[in-house]
Amino acid sequence: MCMGRFARRISEVAGWTLASRVLGLLRDILLFASLGTGVLNSAFILAFTLPNLFRRLLGEGALTSSSIPVLAESLAKNGEKQTHQLFNAIISRLGLFILILQVVAIPAFGLVYLLDGLEERWYLGARLSQVLFPYMFFICLGALACGMLNVFGRFGLAAFNQVWLNLTMIATILYGLWYMPDNGWGRVLLISSGVLLGGLLQFAAPAIGLARQGWSPKVSFATHPDLGKILRLFLPGLLGAAIFQINILVCRLLAFSLDDTATGLLYLSSRLVELPLGVFAIAVTTVIFPDLSRLSATGKDEQYANVFTRGLGLIFMITLPAAIGLSVLARPILAFLFEWGLFSGEDVAAATPVLIASTLGLPFFAWSTLLTRAWYARQEMKVPVRLAAVNLFLNLFLGLLFMQFLGAVGLALANSISAMVHCLALQYFLPGNALNRPRLASLVTLPVALLVLYMVARTGSHFIESLFADGKLVDMLSVLTVIPVAVISYFGILWLMRFPLLRELTKD
C-alpha cells in the first residue's frame, strides 16, 4: 500500500474514532456529574464491564481477528457471494451462542441476592448486570459486522459505529439530570436503557452498510469449508483474549472490593488513556492488519517488516507525547473536564495520581495492540496465549501487592508494569524478522521532540498557575492553551528535524 493511501485510510478511521472518543469523553463527564464516584457509579461500571468483556472476546476480539484474514482470502479467491455465505455462517453461530449465554447468565446474576452480609454495591452490581447483559448480543454481532465492512475496505463506517452508544447514553444522562435530580437509582436505570438502545443501533448501522454492499442476512448453520480455518485461529485466540479480558475483570473486581470510589477512579483514568489509544493506535492497527496478513501469507517478509515497523513508528510518534502530556497536565485536565456536579475537587485530587500511573502504560498498550495483530497475521497464537497467562498472574500479583499500600494508584501501576513486560515479551518472541532496522533507526530523533514537549507543557502549566489564582480559569487555560502549544512545538521540532515518518505522511 502506498504511503498516501495508507495515510488517508488512517486519517479516515482516526477522524471518525476521534469524533466517537470526544462524544465518549462528554458521556463520561456527564456520567460522573450525574453519579459521582460513589456506589451507584461503581455498580454501573462493573455491570457495564461484563457485556463489554464478551464484546472484546467474541465481537471485535478473537473472532473478528480470526475471521478477517479468512474472509479477505475468500473475497479475493471466491468473490462476494461465497464470502457473504461464509459471513452468514459465522454470524448465525455467534448469535446462537450468545442467546444461550444470555439465558444462562442473567438468572445466574440473581444468585448474589442469596448471599447475606455483602456491601450494598455488590447487590446493585448484580441487579444492573441483569439489566445490561442483553447489550452483549447487539454489540458482539455489530462488531463482527464492522469487521466485515473492513474486509470490503469501508473503515470509516465501522469506526463511526461507537458514536451511537455515546449519543443514546448522553441523551439519557441529560434527561435524568433534568427530570430525576433526586432519584439516583432512576437515573442509573435510565442510563442503562440508553446502553441497550445504543447497542441496537450499533448492530443495525453496520448491518445496513453491509446490505448496501450486497449482503443478504440469512440464518445459516450449513457447513462451510473455511469455517475450519477460522476455528483453528479462533480457539487459541479466544483463550488469549479471554485471559486478557479476565485480567481487566480481575482489576475491576479488586478495585470494587477496595472501596466505593476505586472502580470509578480506575475507569476514569482508563477512559482518558484510551482516548489517544483508540483514536490513533487502533486506527493504525486496523488499517495495516489486512496488509500484514497478506504479506505474511505470501512470504514477503521484507515488506512485512517494513509495514510493521512503519506502524510501530506511527504509534510511538503519537502515544509517547500523549503519555507525557496526560501525566504533566493530569490535574488540570481532570478538573477542567470532570469537576462538575457530584464530581468534586476531592475526587480530582484522588483521580490525579491514578491517571498518572495509568499513563505509564499507554505506549505499551498501543504497542501490544499492534503486536497482537502481527501474531494473528503470522497465524501463530500459542505463544501469545502463554504470555497472556503469565501477564494475568503478574498483574494479579502486583495488584494485590500494590493495592495494600497505594490503593487504586497501586492497581493502575500494576496494570502499567505488567503491560510493559507483556509487550516486550510479545516483541521478543514474534517469529521472523518483524523489524526494519533502518526505518527503526530513523526514530532516534524522537526523544528530542519529546523533551521539548515536556518542557513546554511543564513550563506553560507553571506559568499559568503563577498568573491566576486556583480555579476553573486556570484549569481551562492549561488545557486549551498549553496543550495546543505543546503539540505544535512537538510536531514543529519533528518537521524541522526532517522526521521521516512525518514527511511520508504529508506526501500524497
DSSP 327-379: HHTHHHHHHHHH-STT--HHHHHHHHHHHHHHHTTHHHHHHHHHHHHHHHHTT
Q: Which of 403, 106, 434 is nearest to 263 (CA)?
A: 403
**Exposure b/e, 480-502, CB count within 10 A at least 16 = b:** eebbeebbebbbebbeeeebbbb
Using the structure block, give the residue that is written with the C-alpha cell 495492540.
369
How many domains, in total, are found in the chain?
Answer: 1
498 domain residue, yes or no: no
445 domain residue, yes or no: no
What is the Cα 270 distance to its own chain's centre?
9
* 3-state class (DSSP) for residue 260: coil
Rounded Cα gap, residues 245 and 240, in angstroms: 9
* 3-state class (DSSP) for residue 315: helix
**pLDDT value at position 200?**
94
Whole-prediction pTM: 0.67
**pLDDT value at position 204?**
92
The dihedral sign for the CA sequence 148, 150, 154, 156: positive
Rounded Cα gap, residues 162 and 275, in angstroms: 13
Given a contact cutoff of 8 angstroms between Cβ atoms, the answer to whether 439 and 310 are in contact is yes
Rounded Cα gap, residues 445 and 452, in angstroms: 12
**pLDDT value at position 508?**
45
Rounded Cα gap, residues 40 and 147, in angstroms: 34
184 domain residue, yes or no: yes
DSSP 405-442: HHTHHHHHHHHHHHHHHHHHHHHHH-SS----HHHHHG
371 domain residue, yes or no: no
Cell for 441?
533507526
**pLDDT value at position 454?**
92
Cell for 461?
502549566
148 domain residue, yes or no: yes
3 domain residue, yes or no: no
Return left, alpha or beta for 341; rule: phi > 0 is left, psi -120 to 50 is alpha, else beta: left
Using the structure block, give the residue that is written with the C-alpha cell 442483553.
134
- Give the CA count within 13 Å in the CB-facing half-sphere of 473: 7
Cell for 192?
442503562
Rounded Cα gap, residues 277 and 472, in angstroms: 27
Rounded Cα gap, residues 197 and 408, in angstroms: 32
What is the Cα 13 distance to its own chain's centre?
14
390 domain residue, yes or no: no
The values of phi and psi at residue 214, to 5°, are 105, 0
Cell for 138?
447487539
487 domain residue, yes or no: no
Give the 3-state DSSP-derived string for 189-214, with helices as H, strands as E and coil as C.
HHHHHHHHHHHHHHHHHHHHHHHHCC
Contacts of 181 (CB under 8 A, 6+ apart): none
With vertex at residue 227, the alpha carbon angle to CA 226 and CA 232, rounded to the nearest 5 degrees, is 100
Domain around 168: 38-224
With vertex at residue 336, the alpha carbon angle to CA 33 and CA 483, rounded to the nearest 5 degrees, is 145
Which residues of the chain are under the pLDDT cut of 50?
1, 3, 508
Cell for 125?
452490581
* 3-state class (DSSP) for residue 477: helix
Given a contact cutoff of 8 angstroms between Cβ atoms, the answer to whether 206 and 142 are in contact is yes
